[in-house]
Structure 1
Amino acid sequence: MAPDIYLDANATSPVLPAAIAAAVEAMETQFGNPSSSHATGLRAKRILDTTRARARRVLGAGPGRVLFTSGATEGIQTAVLSALVAVRERRAAGEACGDLLVYGATEHKAVSESLAHWNRLLGTGLTLQPLPVDAAGRHRLDVLRELAPRAAMVCTMAANNETGAISDLDGIARVLRECAPKAYWMVDCVQALGKLPLDLANTRIDYAPFSGHKLHAPKGIGILYVRDGAPYTPLMIGGGQEGGQRSGTENMAGIAALGAVLAALEEGTTFRGHGELAALRDRLAAALREAFPAIVFNAPFEHTLPTTLNFSVPGVSGKDLLDLFDAAGVRVSAGSACSAAKAAPSYVLDAMGLPPVRSGNAVRLSIGPLADAAFVAAACARIRRCGEALRAPFLADGNPGVMQVSADGRHGWIVFDAQRCVAIDAPPEQRGRIAALARDAGLNLLDADAADDGTVALDDGSHAPCMKIGGAVLARLPDGYLLGAADAGRLPRTAVRHVFGAIVAARLARVAHDGAVRCHRADVDGLPCATLAARKHDGDAAGQLQPDALEAFLRRHEDALLVDVREAFEAAAGPMALHGRAARNVPLSRLAEHVAAWLSEPARPVVFVCRGGNRSAKAALCLRRAGHTQAWTVAGGLALA
């Protein structure tokens, strides 16, 4: 299997080999407690002091505080706590200090939620006020000028994690100097380290949190810079470590690893510079344009980090794009990694005024400053493969079929053969996609109600207008459709394979048999389709195979059918083979057309696999409820198998 192409560096980054070596040495031979006065402790303290000195130089910290934290979130919490405690004390002393907590509308949620949390706990009673951004994702300085006189604290980013938009920190500083000289200013510098010049002591910035794992250090280590003279309240009190400013035994392995990264930054030859990274970004953008000609980039390159590309592809959902890239071994993300599990439009892109269809389907691609030309060339080749896979016609296999199309929890169905394509109950949002699928496959898209191939007799004595689809007929009833093999103008109930629509149960029992597959307009009992005789949900679950048990299971069951339920474009981008056995691709959207065949071999195990295990679990559950006790899903999917 080809190695992964990791293009999600804004979420986290691989650890620098020198950092790994430094961490291992700190754990194996320099493992002392830096608070201990014996020789072993003093050797550990030397690592602590050396790394802090390097951090001061890299950040341009001057006389400011440089504290080691667990990461940026702790740094943000500490900065907000420190500022709000000072605000409360100043107000208690009768000093005017503003009534607003101003934060950029595109800030990481750790900032806005921290402001709300400490404002509530400290009882400061300030008003949280988002600062809007323009279409490029940069803070509206005109609005800041209006808000600044009332600001007790202002929180902005150096560069945005989703779009890479670089803030005009000099412009913000000018406004604060002129309009809010006593307001505290925190700048989230997580995406700035190693990508933007830093000279913090010569800025107006009071607090600047950093996170090591965004620049090739391990997770769990960060830095907080506090300007000399800015108020400070420890978040954690106890053992007096960090000069009493942050208690808790220091993470010496993390600090040593961070020291190696900082040393590489100082040395200046390990990481790529801005110009080199911009050239690599341009190559990636060109490959994306070639792969997806309709692509739109969601932030202008001239105002973004050269390591970040945020884009949408009209007509293609963000989920489909993520699945496509993942199938090809290309790791990208949708927006912030911290919010990736939440199916919602990007609040960052919403704040920039992008249409919901772009915001909701955006993808972020990000590289780190270790990227080189060879790595980017390999990434571009994979990206082009993704474009080819997406353009492959999904309905062009020449065989009649049934395909599910869905939007916002509603399902429509496509019935097709080598010449015709009929859409049933199609969600409005999917009509354009259906037309494109038909066009790409060279099929004639017909209206399901335009049944013009005569009538067919049903077993309840009625006649229904019908349309020929391959060797079957689609019969139109007042409240739904039947698909099956007609004989001499008659569609026996035993020949009905699929049922669509809301045909009432009493009539359905007379015109279709229990083994027919009902294709729902929305999930019923957790599934988009089921046989008419399927058991209702009673706590049953799909049979699960743990990844480490899969190989033994396949050896025991040589006749087992391994089924890849990823969509066709995913299989085209990255075919699936496990333990020497190639998987047959039957997309979950095509499950309904294969259920009957699998049920005809009830003793043959069917093992479903997908990317993460969710789709394969649905397929296995559908078959199990229909009575196939040898239907299995691989827990965790291909990612763990």
Structure 2
Amino acid sequence: MNIQNNFNNNELSQIYLDSNATTPVLPEAATAAMSAMEHVFGNPSSSHITGLQAKDLMEQTRDKAKQVLGATHGNVIFTSGATEGIQTAILSALVSARTRLKNHQENGQDYHLLYGATEHKAVPESLKHWNNLLGINAKVTAIPVDHKGELDHDFIASHANKALMICTMAVNNETGVFQDLSALEKTIRQANPDVYWMVDCVQALGKMALNLAKTTIDYAPFSGHKLYAPKGIGFIYIRQNAPFTPFIAGGGQESGLRSGTENLPGMAAINVIFDQLLKTDSCFASQAKLLQYRQQLAETLTQAFPQIVFNHHFDNSVPTTLNFAIKGFSSKEMMDLFDAANIRVSSGSACSSKVTRSFVLDAMGLPAWQSESAIRLSFGPAITQAEIEQACERIMFASQALTHSCMVLDNDALNAKTPLNGLVQLRVGGSCTWIYANAATKQVIIIDPLPQLAERINTLVQCQQLTVVAIIDTHGHADHVSARSLLTEVINLTSAEDHLGWPATTKSCIINQKSYQYIEIADKWLIKVPTPGHTQDSISLLLCHPLKENDTLANNTLFAFCGDTILMGTLGRTNFDSSSAVDMYSSLQLLSSLLAPQTLICPSHDYQNEFATHLEAECQRNKLLSNVITGALSVSEFEVAKTKLDSHLNDQQGQEILCGATPSCSTGLAVRELNSSMLTASLNDIKLIDIREPHEYALQHSTKASENVPLTRLVDFMQQHLQDKTTQWVLVCRSGSRSLVAAQAMQRLGFNNISHLKGGYALI
């Protein structure tokens, strides 16, 4: 497609916009580090000439650090990085605080250790660690922030008089929000002149002016790799006369303040960074230029993604950080999109990449969707105008990829290149929406529509110019409000329907001497099967080929949408007011008589990332289900077992309502993993399946892949190949994480020759 050709012409290198996580090493700094390893390799503690040369480099670097920090008084100690600096500060302060308490015979439980609610997790975790280890037992208390991320000064004023230590940060690593240190100092010192105060300055270096000697900040840790120095070198400022306890004891290096042979190559590198910060003709851009870069990126993002919301205010944040969310898209989806466009960004903090929400944005009181969908774009002061322009160009290409994949609607998208055909699974957390379309007739049915997906579903319908036959819920949902009414209104679906969306005008068929209603979608039937139990109104929807005389439903059904009756590894809960374990028992037996052992079951919830299941797979691991189907368990025995299974699901206020007890053990299976060399050797014998979504695939098409099967289409792909499970398929994605999960799901359903590429395209 044209977007691919355009992108390839511009794909010369990656655009790295994740500098708050780490930065590339400045070439001059790398050269200096290499030179130190080759020529100034002496031990600074040695008294011979080689050692003296090394010591001179170290002291030059220390002097420049003091100039950069405005630290004419006080100490600068070199560390391995910010985390060590944080430990050093907190340990030093708390050892002194403990002595104070003992001298005054006071109880630490009456005191606070205060930290900003948006502080890097290294700070509160370190406070808790040393508080417990030193036996102080003070209350570790978060200082609230407002919607702009600014600390609550009234809270500080009212708690500081009983605080042993206060920890704040100069610049937030997720949002770039900076604190007014002068105002903060006034608030703290008026309330408690003697409290120990640490300011995390990791993200401040090179982005805001610092004059630490003119403040009463006791400790300020820094990290080199956040500003173009290598990892493993950092430093901490300690105010003159501030208490100090060595975090690392040993040979007495750093004048006895921090033992361990000094990292001379790291110091040589950060020495170059200090030079750049002190020079007038530096390679670092001015504040005005950085503000211009941010404005250019922000305008491009807004043009590319009109639904964008910035999660911070530009007037109180450094210009090198943009934190935003795009309504309708998760942070994972946007991360994958940007990565496919060869733009490196992150979802919130890189130090908590497995967390789905941002505690920083939660603390600021932002809506949950913004916290869950947050993307952080950050750059360093050495970025160039050319890189900014190329980043903007690629952001626009990424937006076009969404348009061509019918995820964003504009006039060009109405001529979508690939018509939607078959089953699509859309997810929000553990909840699923299912969409089945026929490309020939442009008809579509939507099952269990989630409110978070309403806009995306509407976009898909309009972009593909589909005719909606029905929008149906499999039951009344307890954990969310269905988007069916909203979609029905937006899409102008006018046919009469019941409370779940089942059309009033239907046809009937006889199956096992019982009449069932069905509707037609192109050349398929969608049969409604009442399956009460999870709720009284629960139904299952069976998508099948039209039944002819002597046909069995089991042999003709493609998909069974069973709502929350059968879930992966468990059964839907039956302890709602409208539930009945007795009815579920009958419904399970009914479904087992209608479905083939390997008919794919598509539930409303997938808490284990398994996509779909079938009765054969479930009976192998779910003894309760197996015993119901085989008749080994009576109705009364099932009631007792089901009550026990659901006993821990009694809802607590503020918690997610789970619709079924999740399995207690991991369902992940060991699948064969290939590395890049194994893949190359096996290419002639395998089929490589690229499971990235269409917008990713469009931006980074691989000629090696036999087929693109997005995860949203994986269940459809499995159904098409139920009779072809011996083919050697290798799944591949960007990082290897999605391909592993998909391979495990397929293997569990009998695809025994499945494997995946470890590390994905990232390691090829």
Q: The TM-score by the shorter chain falls in which range?
A: over 0.9
Identify the residue that residue 5 of structure 1 maps to in structure 2: 15
1:519 pairs, out of 583, 602, 606, with: 602
Q: Contact 1:451–1:476 at 8 Å: present in 2 too? A: no
Q: Retained in 2: the 8 A contact 1:452–1:467?
A: no
| Contact kept? 2:300, 2:392, Cα under 8 Å | yes
Q: Are the counterparts in 1 of residues 687 and 705 from structure 2 also a CA contact under 8 Å?
A: no
Matches within 5 A, 1:446-595: 446-448=470-472, 449-451=501-503, 454-455=506-507, 457=509, 459-479=511-531, 480-486=540-546, 492-501=553-562, 502=565, 504=587, 506-523=589-606, 527-534=610-617, 536=620, 540-554=669-683, 556-557=684-685, 560-572=686-698, 574-577=699-702, 580-595=703-718
Alignment of structure 1 residues 424-435 onto 2, 5 Å = 424-435=447-458
The answer to whether structure 1 residue 262 and structure 2 residue 271 are counterparts is no
Name the structure 2 match of 1:442: 465
The alignment yields a C-alpha RMSD, in angstroms, of 2.4
Counterparts of 1:359 and 1:524, CA distance in 2: 21
The more displaced of 87-96 and 152-161 is 87-96
Q: How far apart, in 1, do the equivalents of 2:328 and 2:719 lie?
A: 32
**Alignment equivalent of 1:613, drawn from 736, 739, 760:** 736
* Superposition deviation, residue 389 in structure 1: 2.0
Alignment of 1:334 onto 2:347: yes
Shift of 1:24: 1.1
Contact map agreement 1:515 1:531 (CA 8 A) in 2:
yes
- The one-letter code of the counterpart of 2:379 is I
- For the residue of structure 1 that corresponds to 2:171, the secondary structure is coil
Cα distance, 1:88–1:443 mapped onto 2, change above 3 Å: same
Q: Does 1:104 align with 2:125?
A: no
Which amino acid in 2 is paired with 1:142? Answer: D
Tell me the equivalent position of 2:207: 195
1:58 aligns with 2:82: no
CA contact under 8 A between 2:518 and 2:525: conserved in structure 1?
yes
Alignment check: 8 A CA contact 2:328 2:453 kept: no
Task: Give the conservation status (yes or no) of the 8 Å contact 1:455–1:463.
Answer: no
Residue 111 of structure 1 and its aligned partner are, at CA, apart by 1.2
User: Is the partner of 1:277 in helix, strand or coil?
Assistant: helix
Measure the CA separation in 2 of the matches of 1:474 and 1:494. Answer: 15
Matches of 2:352 and 2:260, distance apart in 1? 29
2:406 and 2:459 in contact (8 A); partners too:
no
Distance change in 2, residues 1:201/1:95 (3 Å): farther
Q: Secondary structure at the match of 1:185?
A: strand
Alpha-carbon spacing, 1:618–1:457, altered in 2? closer, same or farther (3 Å): farther
Farther off after superposition, 362-371 or 506-515: 506-515
Per the alignment, do residues 506 and 353 of structure 1 end up closer, same or farther by CA in structure 2, a change over 3 Å counting?
closer
Could you tell me how far 1:603 is from its partner in structure 2?
4.6
How far the C-alpha of 1:491 sits from its partner, in A, is: 6.9
Please name the residue that 1:176 is paired with: 188
CA distance in 2, matches of 1:16, 1:527: 44
Q: 1:470/1:299 Cα in 2 relative to 1: closer, same or farther (>3 Å)?
A: same
Give the superposition deviation at 1:11: 0.6
Give the counterpart letter for 1:127 in structure 2: K
Q: Does 1:423 align with 2:480?
A: no
Residue aligning to 2:412? none
The equivalent of 2:35 in structure 1 is 25
Alpha-carbon distance in 1 for matches of 2:394, 2:727: 36
What code does the residue aligned with 2:447 have? Answer: I
Q: Deviations over 1:443-464 (max 9, x none)?
A: 2342234346743536534343
8 A contact 1:61–1:200 mirrored in 2: yes
CA contact (8 A) 1:394 1:568 kept: no
Counterpart contact for 1:72–1:210, Cα < 8 Å: yes
Distance in 2 (CA, whole Å) between partners of 1:288 and 1:216 is: 26
SS of equivalent to 2:512: coil
Counterpart of 1:484, as a letter, is: C
Give the TM-score of the pair, scaled to structure 1: 0.93
Compared CA separation, residues 464 and 618, structure 1 to 2 (3 A): farther
Letter in 2 for 1:322: M
1:225 aligns with 2:254: no
Query: Residue by residue, what CA displacement relative to the aligned partner does 1:218-248 show, whole Å, maximum 9, x if unpaired?
Result: 1111010011111111111110000000001
Residue 82 of structure 1 corresponds to which residue in structure 2? 92
* 1:562–1:607 Cα contact (<8 Å) kept: yes
Name the CA distance, whole Å, in 2 between partners of 1:73 and 1:608. Answer: 38
Amino acid at match of 1:204: T
Q: Is residue 634 of structure 1 aligned with residue 757 of structure 2?
A: yes
Equivalents in 2 of 1:151, 1:320: separation in Å? 43
Q: CA deviation at 1:498?
A: 1.3
Give the whole-Å Cα distance in 2 for the aligned partners of 1:173 and 1:625.
Answer: 59
Structure-2 separation of matches of 1:249 and 1:329: 39
Structure 2 stretches lacking a partner, 5+ long: 1-7, 408-415, 473-500, 532-539, 567-586, 622-666
Q: For residues 176 and 450 of structure 1, what CA distance do their matches in structure 2 show?
A: 63
Q: How does 1:403-414 map to 2 (within 5 A)?
A: 403-414=424-435
